């Protein structure tokens, strides 16, 4: 199975109202912004979507809202992961029609060895016919998926790509160097997207693109086309606010920018809290500069 997820993907935030209920109208506005802004595919219920604090029913409602508003325009990837292998497999069997792929994070907290990670993904791959994107994010999971593990898992027919957020360029380039041609490598770090595509990666699953899909997709597509003058311009223009977005955790920063753009509020559910006043002021100013440029 070839990797169908190439270019600028966005890990959608989940907008909330002031009473912490899901703001479905704002979610629809966010989807429309992505469609008009040049995004290539949508990722629903990744960590950026605050998936740990949504109920199973809320996750399904968010997914259905995105599917209906998107109406087949962009590919939709749904986040289904966890550290209980059988539970993840069971959840995969319930994924509704209209979803184009699955993003599944490496098991967290219980820190399996590499063989355990392989067996986990082997099992869940049998629970769906959809293409699966692996997700390596050691800063959240407490364990690293080594290149040899990724390459072994790439032999499973419906495992089509790896979202790499290890921040280890040497590790990611080793995967790119040794992968088979139809296996995709996607950046999981916004700030590394342009250099990773230059090294041979296929795209990104981005946080920044929530707020600035136009500029971010322009940077990604220019990089993929080898137009590095344009790519570098956009990369360095977005780099300061990219750092700000992750300064006090995600998605607190990007939700400030989305509020400035009139898309949604900056409300988060506990245990996440709003960014500090000083950081908020900096994000507001930089967002206005980018939007008004």
Q: Decide: 96 and 68 in contact? Cβ < 8 Å.
A: no
With 90 as the cut, is the pLDDT of residue 233 above it?
Answer: yes
Q: Is residue 240 part of a domain?
A: no
Q: What is the pLDDT of residues 207-224, one digit of tens each?
A: 999 999 999 999 999 999
Average pLDDT over residues 279-293: 96
Res 87 pLDDT > 90? yes
Q: Average pLDDT in the 137-165 region? A: 97
Residue 2 lies in a domain: no
Q: How many CB atoms lie within 10 A of CB 72?
A: 9
Q: Is 121 a catalytic residue?
A: no
Reported confidence tier of residue 293, pLDDT bands at 50, 70, 90 = confident
pLDDT digits (tens, 9 = 90+) for 47-69: 999 999 999 999 999 999 999 99
Question: Can you tell me which residue has the tokens 């041979």?
Answer: 200
Asked if pLDDT for residue 188 goes beyond 90, the answer is yes
Residue 121 domain-assigned (yes or no): yes
Domain harbouring 135, CATH code? 3.20.20.70
Q: Give the 3-state secondary structure of residue 270.
A: coil
pLDDT at 78 over 90: yes
The string over 181-208, giving b where at least 16 C-beta atoms fall within 10 Å of a residue's C-beta and e elsewhere, is: eebbbbbbbbbbbbbbbeeebbbbbbbb
139-144 long-range CB contacts below 8 Å, 24 or more apart? 139/165, 139/167, 140/47, 140/105, 140/108, 141/105, 141/106, 141/107, 141/108, 141/109, 141/111, 142/108, 142/109, 142/111, 143/106, 143/107, 143/108, 143/111, 143/112, 143/117, 144/171
- What's the chain's length in residues? 293
* SS3 of residue 82 by DSSP: coil
Average pLDDT, the chain: 98
pLDDT for the residue 74:
98
If you write DSSP's letter for every residue of 265-289 in order, what string do you get? -----TT--PPPHHHHHHHHHHHHH
With respect to residue 91, please indicate whether it lies within any of the assigned structural domains.
Answer: yes
- Would 246 be classed as within a structural domain? no
247 within some domain: no
Q: Domain range holding 26? A: 7-228
Residues 187-211 have a mean pLDDT of 98
Q: Look up 163 and say whether it is catalytic.
A: yes
Task: Map residue 125 onto helix, strand or coil.
Answer: helix
Residue among 59, 75, 163, 255 flagged as catalytic: 163
Please check whether residue 46 lies inside any domain of the structure: yes
For the segment 14-30, the average pLDDT, to the nearest whole number, is 98
Residue 98 lies in a domain: yes
Residue with tokens 């994010």: 137
Catalytic residue among 135, 215, 255, 288: 135
- 109-133 pLDDT tens trace: 999 999 999 999 999 999 999 999 9
Number of folded domains that form the chain: 1
Average pLDDT over residues 169-193: 98
């Amino acid at each position: 199975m070839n990797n169908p997820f190439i270019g600028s993907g966005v890990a959608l935030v989940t907008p909330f109202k002031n009473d912490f209920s899901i703001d479905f109208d704002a979610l629809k506005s966010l989807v429309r912004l992505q469609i008009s802004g040049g995004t290539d595919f949508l990722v629903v219920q990744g960590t950026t979507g605050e998936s740990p604090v949504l109920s199973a029913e809320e996750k399904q409602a968010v997914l259905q809202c995105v599917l209906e508003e998107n109406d087949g325009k962009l590919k939709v990837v749904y986040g289904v992961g966890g550290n209980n292998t059988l539970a993840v497999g069971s959840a995969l069997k319930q994924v509704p029609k209209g979803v184009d792929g699955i993003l599944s994070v490496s098991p967290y907290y219980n820190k399996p060895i590499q063989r355990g990670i392989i067996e986990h993904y082997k099992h869940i791959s049998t629970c769906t016919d959809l293409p699966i994107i692996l997700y390596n994010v050691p800063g959240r999971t407490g364990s690293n998926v080594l290149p040899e593990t990724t390459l072994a898992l790439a032999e499973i027919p419906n495992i089509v790509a790896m979202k790499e957020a290890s921040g280890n360029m040497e590790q990611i380039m080793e995967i790119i160097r040794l992968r088979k041609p139809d296996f995709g490598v996607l950046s999981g770090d916004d700030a590394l997207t342009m250099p990773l595509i230059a090294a041979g990666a296929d795209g990104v699953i981005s946080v920044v693109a929530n707020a600035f899909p136009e500029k971010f997709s322009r940077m990604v597509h220019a990089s993929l086309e080898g137009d590095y003058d344009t790519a570098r311009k956009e990369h360095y223009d977005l780099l300061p606010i990219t750092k700000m977005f992750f300064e006090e955790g995600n998605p607190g920063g990007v939700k400030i920018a989305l509020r400035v753009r009139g898309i949604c509020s900056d409300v988060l559910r506990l245990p996440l809290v709003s960014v500090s006043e000083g950081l908020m002021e900096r994000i507001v100013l930089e967002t206005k500069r980018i939007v008004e440029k």
